Chains A and B, each alone.
Chain A
Amino acid sequence: MTMSPIQSRLLARRSFLRTGLFAAGALAGVPVLSACGSGNASGGAATGRITLGTTKIMQFDPYLTNTDIHIHAFYTYLLDYPSDGTYEPIPAAAEKWEFAPDHRSVTVTLREAKYHSGAPVVAEDVVTGVRRAQDPDAGFTLAQPTAFIASATAVDRRTARLDFTGPTPDSLVLDWMFSFPMIPSASNTPAKLEREPAGSGPFTLADFRRDQRLVMKKNPDFYDAGKPYLDEVEYRFFTDEDALVAGLESGSVDGAAYVGFRHADRLRDRFTLVEGSGRMSMFFMNATIPPFDNKVLRQALARAVDRERILKQINFGIGEPVYTAFMPSSPAFDAAYLDSHGFDLDAAAALLEQSAGARGAVASAASGTPAVATLEIIQADLKKIGFELEIAPQEEAAYLDALFASKLQCTVAFQPNNMQSPSLIARGRQMLTTTANTTFLDKVPPAYVAAVEAAGAAIAPEDQKTAYAALNEVVVDESWAVGVTTVPSLFALDKRVNGLVTDVRDFVDLTETKA
């Protein structure tokens, strides 16, 4: 078939256009296909990369936080605990440790390891870290747990000795070692750790854009050869929880961290739900403000907390009831208190009558949080016994300011896990510390201070049992910190992702995560 020049030109033009369109389509298709594939590949073994969504603000100072999603990825702690909630110590930054027979010191031998900067991990870093923890202004969450340490000494390059203020139970020292991150001396200040981590953990920082994304890459020099399994982890920030869950369902992330219990039913079939150890929800009453300066009235209100109903309606059945700030896994947890001091409106009414206190108070909570609904349940029960609890939700920043300034009459707030050392009840939130806390100011009950000290000094199992019982007795008697439920952290993961666990502090551990 012959073609005219015009036809030929047209065909040539058509061919050119067709070829061009095909090429453009192919070019456009490659990223689209790879993007489609990245949903698989991002969670697949081929790339060893996952994307996790979170709504939490991030910072890089491990002294500042009791629980966080990313901290454990950057830092190595002296030892680890298994993720099953037990307390069998596993060597981590510390290769071995040896307690003195008199329980007055421990000698820690560090393993040969390197920080992300390439500098070696040395004993002097332990000494610097302890000094910072002992500084009330810089120690933050490690300040109270470090109180038993009198001094730290670098014996040699890899050996540090910690001398205690007195005989100290091994369990308390192990809990401290579990919470103590290795940080190079030169970087161990709040200012230096504000924007950049400086650890020796399984991942290094690759990119951080505040409120947008955080990318971590595998640390090739991590002490545990072959781990972590993932090459890269990206945390993507979402403004609110609903957007986060929508992101998970649409496949734009492989997992969602700290999702609300209300999403659990919806996500259970399509995603793997992982429950972390989490925290405890507590009803705090401020003993410095009437009517809660009346102990019997506090005891009355403590009996009006319907934990089972809160578990069912607020937690959607997730978690367990607690009577004060001890997790069920704590050696001080005594389930008998859930019966003897559990929900009983008749007992509450009788105590209220006996207290002869005022019949009303104002409870505060950050608006839009489950704490408001928890307070509504308590409010309805208290109304039945003639106590009017007014609820005043506040904007979160204003609420926290008032809480830490001891201006709130009562509230529902969280308390971290005390691990295997009940004396650590006094760490964390300022409502339970033994010195000038926000619920008693400088009038912290001496019996509580003594009980915490005794719990932190009891070494023999029998002594520990007695000390823990005494501590239980005083916190239940004073009734300013009434346990409600445990609040496990909840993660929803693509079914291809496995091995994401949290430790007993609720820190996410990605060392053995595979995808």
Chain B
Amino acid sequence: MSAGSSPLRRFTRSRSAVVGATGMLLLVVLAVFAPLIAPFDPTAQDGDPLLGPSGAHLLGTDQLGRDILSRLIHGAQASLIAASGAAAVGAGIGVPLGLLAGYLGRWVDAIAMRLVDLLLALPGILLALVMIVVLGPGRLNLVLAIGIGAVPEFARLTRVATLAVRDRDFVMAARGMGASTPDTMLRTVLPNVLGPVVIQVVVTASMAVVVEAGLAFLGLGTPPPAPSWGGMLQEARSYLYQSPTYGLFPGLCLVLTVFCLDRIGRGLQLAVSGGPHPATRPSTGGAV
């Protein structure tokens, strides 16, 4: 196998994927080390309200005199927890469901897919909204609400991938050598369907960032005073006249995060698919 065909190599040859990964790494560092990096306590109402960017407060202060930069840095935690948590919940439920449905087929498949259809019938944001109203606000409930909405995609994707490999020779061989059904599913089939699932994890994480911000924008995200980008956007909306830059920064953070995740997803797609570098293909107009 040539060096150029290794997945990591294919990923790193996509400049935008590298940019996305670097941006995401930076974001993770910011979120993890937020207490050390943020110049102020994000909940401290010490400054004058609605100050513009200045030397004392680089991005200004919000309506309660809190430092916007510090809240943005700490807000990254909320977004990343929602992103990773929702992807984990979605994959944690969806992948086994899809695997069972695809491998066992028949009535298991029928029941699993009807459940998935039921979930698909509800718009994701509406499902999350109802769950938050019922369960109450909170970080864990937020992750559950977004994650459960992502289960159908994982389940369907895993099912389709499982259907494609379950009758392949290596699976038949494993069965022929006496491997039990759970053993075949977990050790033989699952590793061979993980490629698209990994990409879906990134897509779900990206979607979760936006949904978390949407719920926070509706006032149903992380309870105050904990900062979240969506919550900051919602608050900033009320003070556009008094502080026009207030809403700009959380909005930019959201855009950049989703951009980074999107680029990582694209890079993973190239890495997993094993195809030639897209730069060598005719341009389709999309950045890679």
Residues of A at under 8 Å CB distance from B? 242, 260, 262-263, 265-266, 312-313, 367-368, 372-373, 375-377, 379-380, 383, 390-395, 398
Are B225 and A376 in contact, CB atoms less than 8 angstroms apart? yes
Residues of B at under 8 Å CB distance from A? 43-45, 49, 63-65, 133, 136-137, 218-220, 223-225, 234-235, 237-239, 241-242
Given A262-B241, A367-B218: A379 and B63 within 8 A (CB)? no
Select B242's contact among A265, A390, A391, A393, beta carbons within 8 Å: A265
Are B133 and A395 in contact, CB atoms less than 8 angstroms apart? yes
Are B64 and A377 in contact, CB atoms less than 8 angstroms apart? yes
Given A262-B239, A392-B136, A395-B133: A377 and B45 within 8 A (CB)? yes
What are the residues of chain A within 8 A of B45 when measuring CB–CB? 376-377, 380
Closest 5 CB pairs of A and B: A367-B219, A368-B219, A266-B241, A380-B45, A391-B224
Are A380 and B224 in contact, CB atoms less than 8 angstroms apart? no
Select B238's contact among A262, A383, A394, beta carbons within 8 Å: A262
Are B218 and A262 in contact, CB atoms less than 8 angstroms apart? no
Given A373-B63, A391-B224, A393-B224: A368 and B234 within 8 A (CB)? yes
Given A376-B64, A376-B224, A393-B224: A313 and B49 within 8 A (CB)? yes
Given A377-B45, A380-B43, A398-B133: A391 and B223 within 8 A (CB)? yes
Select B241's contact among A265, A379, A398, beta carbons within 8 Å: A265
Are B224 and A263 in contact, CB atoms less than 8 angstroms apart? no
A393 to B138, CA, bound (A): 10
What are the residues of chain B within 8 A of A263 when measuring CB–CB? 241
A375 to B224, CA, bound (A): 9
B239: min CB distance to chain A, Å? 6
What are the residues of chain A within 8 A of B224 when measuring CB–CB? 372, 375-376, 379, 391, 393
What are the residues of chain B within 8 A of A372 when measuring CB–CB? 219, 224
Are B223 and A380 in contact, CB atoms less than 8 angstroms apart? no
A442 to B234, CA, bound (A): 40
Given A266-B241, A391-B224: A313 and B63 within 8 A (CB)? yes
A380-B43, A393-B137 known, 11 other contacts, Cβ within 8 Å: A263-B241, A265-B241, A312-B49, A373-B64, A375-B224, A376-B224, A380-B225, A383-B43, A391-B225, A392-B137, A393-B219
B157: min CB distance to chain A, Å? 32
A449 to B223, CA, bound (A): 37
B13: min CB distance to chain A, Å? 46
- Residue on B with the closest CB to A390? B223
Are B223 and A260 in contact, CB atoms less than 8 angstroms apart? no
A429: min CB distance to chain B, Å? 22
Are A379 and B225 in contact, CB atoms less than 8 angstroms apart? yes
What are the residues of chain A within 8 A of B44 when measuring CB–CB? 380
Are A367 and B225 in contact, CB atoms less than 8 angstroms apart? no
Are B220 and A367 in contact, CB atoms less than 8 angstroms apart? yes
Given A313-B49, A367-B218: A392 and B223 within 8 A (CB)? yes
What are the residues of chain B within 8 A of A395 when measuring CB–CB? 133, 220
What are the residues of chain A within 8 A of B136 when measuring CB–CB? 392, 394
- Residue on A with the closest CB to B134? A398
What are the residues of chain B within 8 A of A265 when measuring CB–CB? 241-242
What are the residues of chain B within 8 A of A377 when measuring CB–CB? 45, 64
Listed A/B pairs (17) with beta-carbon separation below 8 Å: A242-B237, A262-B241, A266-B241, A313-B49, A313-B63, A313-B64, A368-B219, A373-B63, A376-B224, A379-B225, A380-B64, A391-B223, A391-B224, A393-B223, A394-B136, A394-B137, A395-B220
A380 to B46, CA, bound (A): 10
What are the residues of chain A within 8 A of B43 when measuring CB–CB? 380, 383
A368 to B44, CA, bound (A): 21
What are the residues of chain A within 8 A of B137 when measuring CB–CB? 392-394
- Residue on B with the closest CB to A312? B49
Given A262-B242, A313-B64, A380-B45: A368 and B223 within 8 A (CB)? no
What are the residues of chain A within 8 A of B64 when measuring CB–CB? 313, 373, 376-377, 380
B235: min CB distance to chain A, Å? 8
A368 to B65, CA, bound (A): 19
A84 to B217, CA, bound (A): 40
A383 to B43, CA, bound (A): 11
A312 to B45, CA, bound (A): 14
A375 to B137, CA, bound (A): 16
A403 to B63, CA, bound (A): 27
A398 to B238, CA, bound (A): 23
A72: min CB distance to chain B, Å? 30
A313: min CB distance to chain B, Å? 5
Most buried by A among B43, B235, B241: B241
Are B133 and A368 in contact, CB atoms less than 8 angstroms apart? no
A167 to B18, CA, bound (A): 84
What are the residues of chain A within 8 A of B241 when measuring CB–CB? 262-263, 265-266
B133: min CB distance to chain A, Å? 5
- Residue on A with the closest CB to B217? A368
A392 to B139, CA, bound (A): 12
What are the residues of chain B within 8 A of A367 when measuring CB–CB? 218-220
B243: min CB distance to chain A, Å? 11
A379 to B64, CA, bound (A): 12
Are A368 and B242 in contact, CB atoms less than 8 angstroms apart? no
Most buried by B among A260, A263, A392: A392
A265 to B239, CA, bound (A): 11
A373 to B231, CA, bound (A): 12
A497 to B133, CA, bound (A): 43
What are the residues of chain B within 8 A of A392 when measuring CB–CB? 136-137, 223
B208: min CB distance to chain A, Å? 20
A360: min CB distance to chain B, Å? 14
A394 to B65, CA, bound (A): 24
B169: min CB distance to chain A, Å? 55
